[in-house]
């Protein structure tokens, strides 16, 4: 692959598995130096071992904790200099009927999935503005940020918030040369989705295969999205060729959700 991101420093949150790990691999293959941010060291190290370019494991990176974010960002800057690409991927998606969604669950999902994006972006913003033209923010939202799904009210609300934040910040930063976009995957074959499968099997008695098939039906292509497909879209948004793409929420869902 052409090293279109050679010399760039990318910070990826939630980089230890699933979509975050795939994004880290794609950016690394394109030549970026990648800071792998997440709470647990072991999965981050496993991802780092397979990367094509230099990387740094930034563990203890809790997107709800400003001090943890500051510590992690200092370590990343010390190793690779200011970040010019930020990928906000960390997130959680617990499910419950709305009537059984506790305020504790609601607040936790908002803290991780929405306020975490705010906190990390605000902390990294001076780096991005210092880079100027060519700097990128890519927020990993979801089709849940473009449509509604039953039993994940908190997640839907948070991801709608991420899309709104993306659009607002894109306009605010447009003249700086920093672009801000969101990718919105549909049901994607990740450990997060496996949690949904386990919940379905526990509550309905359906098999794992039946539960996965039910989720796949949401996609008109009749399949789950792969993490690599999401990563390819993020790589494009981070590349020089996407410099005019700004404020977009790109659905990666086989036609389940169409934006226009």
Check if 155 is active-site. yes
End-to-end Cα distance, the chain? 31
Point out the catalytic residue in the list 16, 138, 143, 155.
155
Beta carbons of 243 and 135 less than 8 angstroms apart: no
C-alpha 210/C-alpha 87 separation (Å) is: 33
C-alpha 231/C-alpha 226 separation (Å) is: 9
Q: Chain-centre distance of CA 133, in angstroms?
A: 22
Cα–Cα distance list, 181 to 43, 88, 120, 153 (Å): 27, 11, 15, 23
DSSP at 180: E
Q: Take residue 120 and report the two structure tokens written for it.
A: 């990390």
Per DSSP, what are the bridge partners of residue 180?
137
- In 38-107 the beta strands, taken as DSSP E runs, fall at 55-58, 85-88
C-alpha 12/C-alpha 114 separation (Å) is: 16
Cα–Cα distance list, 14 to 33, 51, 79 (Å): 16, 16, 19
Q: Would you name the residues annotated as active-site residues? A: 155
């Amino acid at each position: 692959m052409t090293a279109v991101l050679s010399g760039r420093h990318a910070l990826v949150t939630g980089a230890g598995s699933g979509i975050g790990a795939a994004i880290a691999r794609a950016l690394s293959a394109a030549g970026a130096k990648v800071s792998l941010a997440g709470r647990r060291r072991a999965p981050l190290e496993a991802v780092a071992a397979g990367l094509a370019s230099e990387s740094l494991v930034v563990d203890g990176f809790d997107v709800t904790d400003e001090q943890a974010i500051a510590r992690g960002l200092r370590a990343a800057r010390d190793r690779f200099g200011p970040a010019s690409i930020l990928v906000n991927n960390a997130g959680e998606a617990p499910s419950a009927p709305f009537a059984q969604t506790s305020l504790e669950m609601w607040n936790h999902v908002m803290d991780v999935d929405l306020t975490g994006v705010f906190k990390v972006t605000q902390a990294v913003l001076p780096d991005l503005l210092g880079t100027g033209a060519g700097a990128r923010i890519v927020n990993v939202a979801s089709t849940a940020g473009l449509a509604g799904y039953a039993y994940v009210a908190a997640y839907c609300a948070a991801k709608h918030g991420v899309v709104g934040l993306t659009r607002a910040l894109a306009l605010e930063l447009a003249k700086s040369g920093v672009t801000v976009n969101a990718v919105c995957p549909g049901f994607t074959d990740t450990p997060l989705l496996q949690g949904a499968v386990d919940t379905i099997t526990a509550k309905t008695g359906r098999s794992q295969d039946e539960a996965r098939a039910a989720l796949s039906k949401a996609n008109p292509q009749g399949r789950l999205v792969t993490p690599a497909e999401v990563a390819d879209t993020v790589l494009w948004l981070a590349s020089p060729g996407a410099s005019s793409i700004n404020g977009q929420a790109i659905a990666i869902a086989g036609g389940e959700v169409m934006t226009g």
